[in-house]
């Protein structure tokens, strides 16, 4: 059996403490990259973009859920007032099924078809097909709730 001199033991203990402390800080500071979106009564996973708008959105969702009353617009999206402003980094993008974008800093748009415009992309619904999304969204107004798990 090898006995470690006390100064080496102390050194190993300090290294272990630094490692544990560093791991805790990294876990605490890691950016969440997924939220939940409830459409009427169905929850979906949303993979978030990495930008200032989503960072701010996460901070808000850590305190409370956000409910949006969204209306159909143009036959390709549901859009509703977010009720607050988020930072924008608009760029011309081609949206597709399940994309969630920020428009004018305070409107959320959920796309069930494609469109091209200047938006700040927030995220995309994971694992959904067009017929399923269109069926859940229906033809009229819809309630969207953004929340954490």
Buried b (16+ CB within 10 A) or exposed e, 15-31: eeeeeeeeeeeeeeeee
The residue among 63, 5, 54 whose CA lies nearest residue 32 is 54
pTM score:
0.78
- List pLDDT tens digits, range 84-122: 999 999 999 999 999 999 999 999 999 999 999 999 999
Q: Judge whether 121 and 94 are in contact, CB under 8 Å.
A: no
Q: Give the tens place of pLDDT for each residue, 52-76.
A: 999 999 999 999 999 999 999 999 9
Domain ranges of the chain: 34-147
pLDDT, position 1? 53
- Report whether CATH 3.40.50.620 matches the domain 34-147: no
Q: What is the pLDDT of residue 9?
A: 73
Dist. CA 139–CA 136, nearest whole Å = 9
């Amino acid at each position: 059996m090898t006995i470690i001199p006390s100064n080496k033991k102390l050194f190993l203990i300090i290294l272990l403490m630094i490692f544990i402390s560093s791991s805790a800080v990294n876990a605490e500071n890691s950016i969440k990259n997924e939220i939940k979106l409830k459409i009427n009564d169905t929850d979906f996973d949303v993979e978030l973009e990495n930008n200032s708008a989503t960072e701010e959105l996460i901070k808000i969702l850590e305190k409370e859920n956000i409910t949006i009353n969204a209306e159909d617009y143009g036959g390709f999206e549901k859009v509703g007032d977010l009720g607050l402003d988020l930072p924008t980094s608009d760029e011309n993008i081609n949206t597709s099924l399940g994309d969630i974008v920020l428009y004018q800093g305070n409107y959320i748009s959920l796309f069930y078809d494609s469109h091209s415009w200047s938006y700040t992309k927030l995220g995309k619904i994971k694992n959904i097909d067009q017929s399923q999304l269109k069926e859940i969204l229906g033809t009229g107004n819809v309630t969207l709730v953004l929340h954490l798990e």
